[in-house]
Amino acid sequence: MSIAGGHVRRVRLRVANAYLVTRGDETVLVDAGTPWDRDRLLGSIADAGYDAGDIDRVLLTHYDFDHVGTLATLGLRTDATIHAAEPDASYLTGESNPPLRSHKGAAQRLAAPFLDRPTNPVERVDDGDEVAGFVAYHTPGHTPGHTAYVDERLGVAFVGDMVQERGGRLVPAPWVITGDTDRNRLSIREFAARCPPVDVVAMGHGDPIVENGYGALKRVADRV
């Protein structure tokens, strides 16, 4: 599925979506599926006319099994940078571990043995940082370091698991997969207030909203 004038390709993986963004001389991967999604992800990248060595950077919306799983095995160039916010970045590198005191952290710890750690450089992003034309928005709740990325020129917001698509509308991520539902709802409201008027909202679970995505964000923010 190509969106945003063909600059964004949605890759439907086993559990979650990944997105390949191509514009100018930059090729960017947003999220990276489960460990068992490697062949499917590589096939979609090849269908778009690229290979893993063409990817310049990876934007991670958050650390979760179904978003970081292929990073160590995809065949990225050694200089391809992975961008993520703390503390999720340190969960990815193994410098710290998700907390066992929450159901979310416990689930992440249980899944960790199935993940190989990437050797690519990991660059920390903060709220408001610009990365190759994408602006990072800290949106904690689903995970503490959850981050959305907006390319205003393409009119696309990559929102990870802050919201899901169900029946053509956006809903908050459910409690069972969210670390702090109250904080996630607040992040939805804050992001809707700060986000520029994008056409497309591309999430981890569900079909991207490809028309008036900004309106869909406003509506879910009003409901929560």
pLDDT at 10: 96
Residue 166 CA: distances (Å) to CA of 29, 55, 122, 131 = 24, 31, 33, 30
Phi, psi of 46 (to 5 degrees): -65, -40
If one counts every other C-beta atom within 10 angstroms of the C-beta of residue 130, the result is: 10
pLDDT at 119: 96
Name residue, tokens 């750690």. 117
* Prediction pTM value: 0.97
Containing domain of residue 75, as a range? Answer: 2-223
Segment-wise mean pLDDT, segments of 10 residues, the chain, 224 residues:
83 96 93 97 95 97 98 97 98 95 93 94 98 96 98 96 96 96 98 97 97 96 96
CA 161 to chain centre: 7
pLDDT at 131: 96
pLDDT at 13: 97
Total number of domains constituting the chain: 1
- For residue 34, what is the domain's CATH number? 3.60.15.10
Between CA 165 and CA 201 the distance in angstroms is 10
pLDDT at 148: 98
pLDDT at 4: 67
Between CA 182 and CA 199 the distance in angstroms is 27
Nearest in space to 71 (alpha carbons), one of 101, 102, 108, 42:
42
If one counts every other C-beta atom within 10 angstroms of the C-beta of residue 24, the result is: 8
Name residue, tokens 């994408």. 134
pLDDT at 3: 81
pLDDT at 157: 98
Instruction: Enumerate residues 6+ apart whose C-beta is below 8 A from 49.
Output: none
